[in-house]
Amino acid sequence: MSLDSIVVRWALVLSVAVLLQVTVVSRLSVFGVHPDLILLIAVVAGLTGGPTRGAIVGFAAGCCADAYLSSRFGVSALAFTLTGYSAGVAGDTVVRPATPIWMGLAGGLSAAGVLLYAALGHLLGASTLADPNLLAIIGIVSVVNALLVVPAMSVARWADQNGSVVRIR
């Protein structure tokens, strides 16, 4: 499969994720917190495609998230790039892929991504680390992303369409 078709597939996946995030998911809230599908896309890109794919898709996902967030532009891009890269490193270390392992990795990496976003925002003058809802945000985003990782990885495997992608049992 050519690089052009992989880029087009990932652009389509990311576009659908952003559309779902802005129109549907942002209206669903648990304790005033909504899930983050865009962060999930960065995580599964890394888990299925490795560190480079995770960083590239994470950067694109972060730029899309920054386009509709009211925070400083680039905070999500940096946080999602680092999270996607970390997901790729973590995914490459998994010897026996199984659903509980992917769920744990997705939950942990999503929690780290939210915390990284809050820390970077705090460094740039926002009071994101002092947000009283930060623990709720971390918990809800990580649990939802852990529950959605299996279908999201299927979408990521479709977007990659190469023989080196991991299979979920």
Domain ranges of the chain: 3-160
Q: What six digits make up the tokens of 17?
A: 């994720």
pLDDT of res. 167: 43
Q: Enter the pTM of the model.
A: 0.89
Return the amino acid letter for 119: A
pLDDT of res. 1: 58
Number of helices and strands (H, E) in the chain? Answer: 5, 0
pLDDT category of residue 150 using cuts at 50, 70 and 90: very high
Separation CA 74–CA 83 (nearest Å): 14
pLDDT category of residue 29 using cuts at 50, 70 and 90: confident
User: How many residues does the structure list for the chain?
Assistant: 169
**Four-way CATH pick for 3-160: 1.10.1760.20, 1.10.357.10, 3.40.630.10, 3.40.50.720:** 1.10.1760.20
